[in-house]
Structures are given as structure tokens and as C-alpha cells.
């Protein structure tokens, strides 16, 4: 969670209340974001809010108790950040340029490089600074000092909902944001602005049609038509978030996967359009690409710390990764 205040002498004097959407999108593109959209800050649509509440009531979040934290703020960004007027949604491509050789143990594509939280926050902070260099922050409102806040998977924000609201793409049957002619392998982040925008983007309608390849590809039946997403069944949840013993379904269907799961994404026809990312921080270490099954089974704590320093794989911790590796022998 980041605040950025304006103290620049380069502020444009002509307009303190409204930001130009086209300018922000141009700045975002220059910084390497694949796409950018802007939505008006407002409570989450009631139908979506009810669906999310029902998902929690049914216990579908499994052990991810944080999904129920700050519920009202999650469903109304104005409660999370007083004074927010607009929400910028940003997408950064992580489609891999290099992959672990087929037949070796696999790691989800998003975790092949450095931790996306750090990369996204850095880029969003830089964009926030550029915004405050162009537009002065509004005056205090109700005693609150206006600020710009940056979020990336670290706050109660429905990021895919806001990405769809901002016109980036639609939420597919695999519950991922799908960007047309680009796919779903994108990190998402949001910048909360205390300004109105001159133009807001329109939400994108769903383009999945009758396709159900992601449903067919899910190895543990976590995606069921006309049902809420069953997180506890999801192989990615089992291999990352689950701190106990893996479910029988996970053990039976994990194959060579030892961290995360990309099967509902690789099955999606829209990911045929994915372009390999060129971000240096997201490229895998040569040592990771050269890991054999034998090396994985002999992985030490020191190996783990060296291999995954600054990586999202640190979330599963050494013991969790060793659990996953050991199960593949069964």
C-alpha cells in the first residue's frame, strides 16, 4: 500500500480536478504496462457483491481467511481510500519467454522470475509520481489529506472486477481476466486517484461464448459451470496456500507440477495470442531452467534460498515445496 504526495514544481496549473485519461494511458505504456484503463470509483455492483458474500458464506475461500477481511472496504473502494474518485487498472505481461524443459518438474509461469509484487509496486509508484507531476492533488476533504494509493494483490481490492470495469478484458470461465487477442497471463495492479478522469472506460462484455476448455482442463474439478469457484479443490491452492497435507485429488492429478497450476490458462484459446514478455526481472534464472528431478529431490534449504531469493515461490516456504516434490514420487 503506497501513498504519493505532490511536491513538484512542474505541476500543470490549468487543471487540478480532472486528469486526462489519454495522458495516463500513454505514460503507462511508456513504462511497459501492456494495457491500462480507468473506472469511476463506486461500490461494487450489487450482484457481484452478493455473489462474493455467498462465496464466503459457503466457505469457498478454504484456509484463505484474509479473503473475508475488510469485507465492506473490499466491496466499496471509497471506504478503503477516502476521497478516491477514479481507479486506474494496469496489466503487465508475464507470458514466459523461456520455460522449464518439458518432462521436468514445473512451476507456474507467473513465478518463474522475480516477485511480481515488487515489480508492479515499483512501476506503479513511478507512474503515480508522474501523475502528481502533472496534476496537483485536490484540497483536503472532510479533514482527509488526498493521496494516491497503489495496490497489487496486497489489499482488499477485487482486482479482476476493476480490470473488467476499466475495460481491460473480461472475467472468463476460468475466473481469470482475459484480455482480447492477448490472453490471461498478466499481473494486475490498481492506482486509486483522488481525481475525476475526463473519460472513463466501458466494461468489456464476456467473449468466452460456448467454450469450456478451461473447465475440461482443470485436473481437480475446481471450475464447475454455474457454480462458485471451489478454491480448496484448485491445484494451485493446494500446492501454494494449503499448509497441511495435500488433498487426494491434488496428489493424483498434480503430475510434474510442484508449484501453482497453469492448466486452465494454457487450455484457453485466447492464450494462443500471448506474446513472450521482455521484462528482465521476469526472466527465470539459468539455474532454475537447468534443475533436474534429481536436483529437486535433493534440494536443501540453502539451495531453496538461493534459487528463490526475491521470488514469489518463497510464499510456499521450503517445507511446503519439499512436500510437493516428495508427493510426486508417490
18-77 per-position pLDDT tens digit: 999 999 999 999 999 999 999 999 999 999 999 999 999 999 999 999 999 999 999 999
Phi, psi of 326 (to 5 degrees): -65, -40
- How high is the pLDDT of residue 15? 44
Q: Are 206 and 221 in contact (CB under 8 A)?
A: no
**Considering only CA atoms, which of 326, 304, 306, 327 is closest in space to residue 316?**
304
Residue the block writes with cell 485536490: 138
pLDDT-based confidence at residue 297 (cuts at 50, 70, 90): very high
Q: What is the pLDDT of residue 10?
A: 42
Q: Which residues contact 81 (CB under 8 A, 6 or more apart)?
A: 147, 149, 192
Record the pTM: 0.92
pLDDT in tens, 164-198: 999 999 999 999 999 999 999 999 999 999 999 99
- Cα–Cα distance, 321 to 291 (Å, whole number): 14
For 41-144, where are the E strands, in sequence order?
86-93, 106-107
Give the pLDDT confidence score for residue 214 in this predicted structure: 97
The 3 state secondary structure assigned to 123-182 is: HHHHHHHHHHHHCCCCCCECCECCCEEEECCCCCCCHHHHHHHCCCCEECCCCCEEECCC
pLDDT tens, 240-271?
999 999 999 999 999 999 999 999 999 999 99
Mean pLDDT of the region 103-131:
97
Residue (of 91, 83, 89, 90) closest to 196 by Cα position = 83
Give kind and range of the element (H or E) at residue 272: none
pLDDT band at 14 (very low <50, low <70, confident <90, very high): very low
For residue 95, give the nearest of 181, 207, 222 by alpha carbon.
181
**Cα distance between residue 177 and residue 159, in whole Å:** 9
Closest CA to 279 of 161, 118, 66: 118
Euclidean distance between CA atoms 150 and 17, whole angstroms:
19
pLDDT of residue 7: 37
3-state secondary structure of 192: strand
| Residue 318: CA count within 13 A, CB half-sphere | 11
Instruction: Quote the pLDDT of residue 154.
Output: 86
- Is the pLDDT assigned to residue 6 strictly greater than 50? no
Could you tell me the end-to-end alpha-carbon distance of the chain, in angstroms, rounded to an integer?
42
Surface-to-core class of residue 127, CB atoms within 10 Å of its CB (0-12 exposed, 13-18 middle, 19+ buried): buried
Question: Across residues 140-155, what is the average pLDDT?
Answer: 86
Residue listed under C-alpha cell 462484455: 205
- What is residue 263's three-state secondary structure? helix
Q: Which cell goes with 31?
A: 513504462
Number of residues that this document lists for the chain: 330
Q: Which residues are catalytic?
A: 153
User: Which of 66, 196, 215 lies closest to 138 in space, CA to CA?
Assistant: 196
Q: Measure the CA–CA gap between 110 and 62, rounded to whole angstroms.
A: 22
pLDDT of residue 227: 83
Determine the Cα–Cα distance for residues 13 and 177; give it in Å rounded to an integer.
37
Helix (H, G, I), strand (E, B) or coil at 323: helix
The mean pLDDT of the chain is 93
The Cα–Cα gap between 184 and 269 comes to 10
Amino acid at each position: 500500500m503506497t501513498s504519493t504526495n505532490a511536491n513538484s514544481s512542474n505541476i500543470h496549473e490549468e487543471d487540478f480536478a480532472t486528469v486526462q485519461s489519454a495522458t495516463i494511458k500513454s505514460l503507462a505504456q511508456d513504462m511497459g504496462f501492456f494495457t491500462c484503463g480507468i473506472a469511476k470509483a463506486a461500490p461494487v455492483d450489487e450482484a457481484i457483491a452478493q455473489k462474493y458474500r455467498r462465496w464466503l458464506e459457503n466457505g469457498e475461500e478454504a484456509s484463505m481467511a484474509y479473503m473475508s477481511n475488510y469485507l465492506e472496504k473490499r466491496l466499496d473502494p471509497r471506504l478503503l481510500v477516502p476521497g478516491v474518485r477514479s481507479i486506474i487498472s494496469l496489466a503487465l505481461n508475464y507470458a514466459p519467454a523461456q520455460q522449464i524443459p518439458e518432462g521436468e518438474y514445473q512451476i507456474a509461469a507467473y513465478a518463474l522470475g522475480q516477485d511480481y509484487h515488487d515489480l508492479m509496486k515499483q512501476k506503479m509508484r513511478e507512474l503515480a509520481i508522474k501523475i502528481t507531476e502533472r496534476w496537483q492533488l485536490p484540497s483536503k476533504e472532510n479533514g482527509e489529506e488526498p493521496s494516491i494509493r497503489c495496490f497489487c494483490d496486497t489489499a482488499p481490492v477485487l482486482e479482476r472486477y476493476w480490470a473488467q470495469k476499466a475495460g481491460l478484458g473480461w472475467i472468463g470461465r476460468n475466473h481469470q481476466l482475459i484480455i482480447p487477442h492477448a490472453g490471461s497471463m498478466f499481473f494486475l495492479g490498481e492506482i486509486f486517484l483522488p481525481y475525476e478522469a475526463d473519460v472513463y472506460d466501458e466494461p468489456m462484455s464476456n467473449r468466452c461464448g460456448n467454450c469450456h476448455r478451461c473447465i475440461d482442463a482443470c485436473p481437480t474439478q475446481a471450475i464447475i459451470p454455474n457454480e462458485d469457484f471451489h478454491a480448496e479443490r484448485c491445484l494451485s491452492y493446494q500446492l501454494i496456500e494449503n499448509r497441511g497435507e495435500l488433498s487426494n485429488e491434488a496428489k493424483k492429478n498434480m503430475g510434474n507440477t510442484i508449484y501453482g497450476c497453469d492448466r486452465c490458462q494454457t487450455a484457453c484459446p485466447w492464450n494462443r495470442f500471448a506474446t513472450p514478455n521482455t521484462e528482465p526481472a521476469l526472466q527465470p534464472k539459468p539455474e532454475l531452467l537447468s534443475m533436474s528431478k534429481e536436483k529437486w529431490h535433493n534440494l536443501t534449504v540453502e539451495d531453496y534460498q538461493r534459487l528463490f531469493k526475491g521470488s514469489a515461490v518463497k510464499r510456499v516456504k521450503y517445507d511446503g515445496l519439499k512436500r510437493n516434490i516428495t508427493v510426486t514420487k508417490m
